[in-house]
Structure 1
Amino acid sequence: MTLVQTQPRPAHADPVRRTVADAMAAAGPQVCDDMTVEVALAVMASARAGHLLVCDEYGECTGLVTRARLTALRDSAGYTDRIRLRDLAGDLGPLTSTRTTMAEAEHAMRYRRLRALPVVDEHGSALGVLALTR
């Protein structure tokens, strides 16, 4: 796996000091946490996205949910059509800031086996996503 780089890096850029802001991609689809799993899957399908950023009623990013996670939940025995994204609060994963270094972010993503990590500002608003590729 290698980190996706969405912006060209100047030749003089120090890789140790590069931050998440240097490599994050656009935030992509964002949804409110009161959305049901079925609706979230439909939004992902229509947006052709593999993940959604989940925000609370104040617009603060609370995490990221993947198609694989929602599909597994929908196919589980305990699934009902009343489950909302906020019910997955503990499973939405960590967030990072734009000041996090690339080395720190890559280490955290590999350690936690994350393929994508939401990037938020100091107010919790989603700015982008840092993604790993194979």
Structure 2
Amino acid sequence: MSALDAGSGLDAGAGSGVDAGSGIDAGSGLDARAVDLPHEALPAATVVSGAPTAALLPLATVGDTEIGIWEMTPGTASDTEADEVFVVLSGHAVIEFVSPPLPPLEVGPGSLVRLAEGMQTVWTVTETLRKVYVA
């Protein structure tokens, strides 16, 4: 992985996130890799194969920007992206870019990726994927 841009990734270290707006005391910290997340089934119209579930934990909003943790269990699902930068904390997936057409991107712990609003993607998660996002 070599570029930080739509459809590309840049390896980066994974860590924890804390924010004053999250209700989490900045002095206590948060292990974003270990926090329990409540999962829900993905909308049937987005599921391509398997029975993936997803979970979301918003941590903060700064202006129009949200920071949070997102997780998806194994399976394949389609998505239309928002402007987002994320770091993968755990798990593995391949992101296929339907529109615009770009080469598939394999992501795993430490991957840093930027997605552009409106991109149409298909995520194939082979090991539960957890990321911290800024969108």
TM range (shorter): under 0.3
- What TM-score, normalized by structure 1, do the two folds share? 0.27
Instruction: Kindly indicate which of the two structures has a greater share of residues assigned to helix.
Output: 1
The higher relative CO (CA closer than 8 Å, separation ≥ 6) is in 1
Task: Say which structure is richer in strand.
Answer: 2
